[in-house]
Structure 1
Amino acid sequence: MPVSAAQPPPTQAANARPEEVWIDATAGVAGDMLLGALIDAGAGLPVVQAAVDAVIPGTVRLSQATVRRAGLRATKVAVEPLAEDHPHRTWRTIKDLIAEAGLPAPVRDRALAVFGRLAGAEARVHGVQVDEVHFHEVGAWDSIADVVGVCAALHDLGVGRLTASPVALGSGRVRAAHGDIPVPVPAVLELSAGWQVLSGGEGELATPTGMALVTALAERCGTLPAMNVQRTGMGAGTKDTPGRANVVRIVLGTPLPAAPDSSREATDVVLEANIDDLDPRLWPGVLTALLADGASDAWLVPILMKKGRPAHTLRVLAPSAQVAVVRERMFRETSTIGVREWAVHKTALERTWVPVAVLGEGTVPVKVAHRGGIIVQATPEFEDVAALASAHGLPVISVLDAADAAAAAQGLVPGAALPSDTA
């Protein structure tokens, strides 16, 4: 039931504009939960409503209430329909609605990126072309409100960079538009590729909309990053499950400066196996699966084995904590009957991500590796380049060239001093 809670007056630090947000999705994630957490942290509901109205005018009304979930206070955002007819929409239709709504560029670009990921996942699950995907539950009016609302709330808070925890997906079965299906539902599993996940409990804990928001907007998966915390937010799901708080938490703040010594040494493990009898068409999937399991890198080396047989050495670099999972994947996905392992020491450069404006269409993060305050490498993130190109119908090479030029214009080139505002 709704409850009231007195909020302490904000401090001067809390009033500052945060640069980074970390999403705690270890209890699951849904679009309305993440939106509730952002509203709880200070995003303006009228700003969010205006953005949603720009895309689907006169269709929904947003409201907020303070509730408890397993004894914890949280903000619940409700999406109330204002119209009786809410047709299923294709990705092509939704893309046009968002692109033509007159939203601020960061809101528009983030919303397009999220729905683009959703469309890709649904297309693969149902075996159709991306532009012809009918979203059903995912593309209904409430999910459009959640996606556009979250992107508008992030913009209102001034958040530039997002990171997130591993996501609890749940277990069991759920009723959907196509019938009874397993949890995690197929679209959520498809969206989980490359992300750390856990079961986390019974029921559907992560929705396709929530998973798309996390994986499309967050730059990396991991624990709470080092930061000066400015404020926090707690968003509630619909169910109040005894013994498990059904909430998404966010932490907003500014990153702490990098340590003076910009190199760090870590112990990893190399795992390898020689394989001469695997269908070569399977290799791309094997490498992708190993990286999704937490491997730092995975690659093939062509070799010639006994009796002149052509073969490959599968070699994987993995953190110590992921060795058991990676080893199991190698046995399960390949025909090898043995895996060799040895520990190695890795020295990695410090890195940071700097957004650069590209062609007036959006931003692309540039990964900047540096040492002793000097830039060693500066590379636009290719996946973000490709997503931006796809969202705006541009050639990938044009966006990549523009991102390289934008990075150079900001002084992000090898040999240059690391800009003081990115250190």
Structure 2
Amino acid sequence: MTDPHRLAWLDVTSGVAGDMLLGALVDAGAAPEAVQQAIDAVVPGAVRLTQAAVTRAGLRATKVGVEPLAEDHPHRTWRSIRVRIEEAGLPAPVADRALAAFGRLAAAEARVHGVPVEEVHFHEVGAWDSIADVVGVCAALHDLGIARITASAAALGSGRVRTAHGELPVPVPAVLELAAGWEVVGGGTGELATPTGMALVTALAAECGDLPRLRAEATGVGAGTKDTPGRPNVVRVVIGTPADAASGTDEEISAVVLEANVDDLDPRLWPGVLASLLTAGASDAWLVPILMKKGRPAHTLRVLAPRQRADALRDLVFRETSTIGVRESAVRKTALERTWIRVPMAGDDEVPVKVAHRGGVIVRATPEFEDVAALAADRGQPVVTLLDAAAAAAVASGLVPGAELPTGRR
């Protein structure tokens, strides 16, 4: 069960990959059986985790490997991965974190290759072992009861590497896209940070910084594959309770709001601007109609963002709007826990329903509009008709305010 005060700090100053993060969390005490069970729920019978004690540049570490048990099909869409995770019956924190990490990967790949997010086809990051790394890391965090994550600056590496897209410079484009707004260093020769590793760090960590003041309770060291003399190829994790939680003081402010008044942008551009901000990692983005001096109609653009994404999102506002100034204010954000549950519709179709809950009790359940709209287009029916039918299906499945969240979704 997640402890609301339990924090994990990730030391990725030597680089980061999904298996290194997983090794560090297992070394810190995450149960391998719980991790394997979560992976099997998403890709049943596909992989088996292995665990070994190794040394990297003289330091002891845990190496977690992923052995394939079935033939892999390396080209896989973001949509298919999302459905697998949503339908696996994982605890909500595990599913939500895994979806967030893969969503970041999809957004980065879409921007790098210039295609819509839903059309992204993963290669290396879509293979069974990468799905195992992402789901495994999220399951390990849940097993350790981690509520909050922070991380150090990330070492990215240098040189060149061969990929499914050919030979690329290091850091590869997807890693650079994922690193926007994060503190990074070169750190050495070779590919020190993989797209999967950077997606996990930037999607799950609330902020980038040095080891925070805390009461340390556990540590773990996860090994990469290479053993480089003089540079330990490891990720470290430190787990504990922050000093402010122990003293009963308020938690640190964890979000910012960016604002800009704009009176000279073609209104047809606003939907694209908002979509770009959300894809780039904004928690929310919206417009407020205003009247400026001399009675000029205008809009205030507001962007709610995690602090580590503020710089990248501010740059995006300057790039995609006509504003010449952006205000910034720190805020405290409190969000209900969320999960997605697929409910059956007439005709053997299913739609995902976003369920917000508190303490295991449903507060709100809302069908995902885009999925309902896509189903309406496939059926040739009005969207409003399918929205009503999806809402009725959610009620029929027991997803109503005040009801207990289904077992296994907490």
Offset, 1:197 = 3.1
Q: CA deviation at 1:132?
A: 1.6
Distance of 2:81 and 2:97 partners within structure 1: 13
Distance 1:192 1:125 in 2: 13
> Is 1:62 matched up with 2:24?
no
Verify: 1:199 aligned to 2:185, yes or no.
yes
Give the distance between the partners of 1:393 and 1:128, measured in 2 at CA: 22
1:157-194 CA-to-partner distances (Å, cap 9, x unmatched) read 1111111111111111111111111111000111111x
Once residues 223 and 390 of structure 1 are traced to their aligned partners in structure 2, the CA distance between those partners, rounded to angstroms, is 40
TM-score by length of 2: 0.65
Write the deviation string for residues 99-140 of structure 1: whole angstroms up to 9, x where unpaired: 111111111111111111101110111111211211101111
Amino acid at match of 1:160: A
Question: Alpha carbons of 1:357 and 1:206: their partners in 2 closer, same or farther (altered >3 Å)?
Answer: same
C-alpha deviation, 1:50, in angstroms = 1.1
Distance, in Å, in 1 between the alignment partners of 2:7 and 2:340 is 24
Contact 1:169 1:197 in 2 (8 A): no
CA distance in 2, matches of 1:18, 1:248: 22
Q: CA deviation at 1:89?
A: 0.7
Matched, 1:90 2:77: yes
Q: Distance in 1 between matches of 2:369 and 2:174?
A: 20
Name the SS for the 1:38 alignment partner. helix
Aligned mate of 1:223, from 185, 198, 210: 210
Contact 1:173 1:203 in 2 (8 A): yes
Q: Distance in 2 between matches of 1:129 and 1:180?
A: 24
The RMSD of aligned alpha carbons is 5.4
Which one of 190, 195, 206 corresponds to residue 208 of structure 1? Answer: 195
Please tell me whether the aligned partners of residues 28 and 167 of structure 1 are also in contact (alpha carbons under 8 angstroms). yes
Counterpart selection for 2:118 from 125, 131, 147: 131
The answer as to whether partners of 2:72 and 2:127 remain within 8 angstroms in 1 is: no
Give the TM-score normalised by structure 1: 0.63
1:82 alignment partner AA: L
Q: Which residue does 1:111 correspond to in 2?
A: 98
**Whole-Å Cα distance in 2 between the matches of residues 103 and 23 of structure 1?**
24
CA spacing shift, 1:358–1:239, aligned 2, 3 Å: closer
Cα drift, residue 355 of structure 1: 6.0
Q: In structure 2, which of residues 27, 35, 51 is the aligned counterpart of residue 48 of structure 1?
A: 35
Give SS of 2:125's match. coil
Cross-structure match for 1:122: 109
The residue number in structure 2 matching 1:73 is 60
In the alignment, residue 163 of structure 1 is paired with which amino acid?
T
1:261 shift after superposition: 9.4
Q: 1:250 aligns with which of 227, 237, 258?
A: 237
**Structure 1 residue 352: Cα displacement:** 8.3
Q: 1:390 to 1:220 in 2, by over 3 A?
A: farther
Which residue matches 2:165? 178
Q: Is the 8 A contact 1:113 1:391 kept in 2?
A: no
Match of 2:322 in 1: none
1:392 to 1:68, Cα distance in 2 relative to 1, 3 A: farther
Give the one of 138, 142, 167 matched to 1:155. 142
- Percent same amino acid among aligned pairs? 65
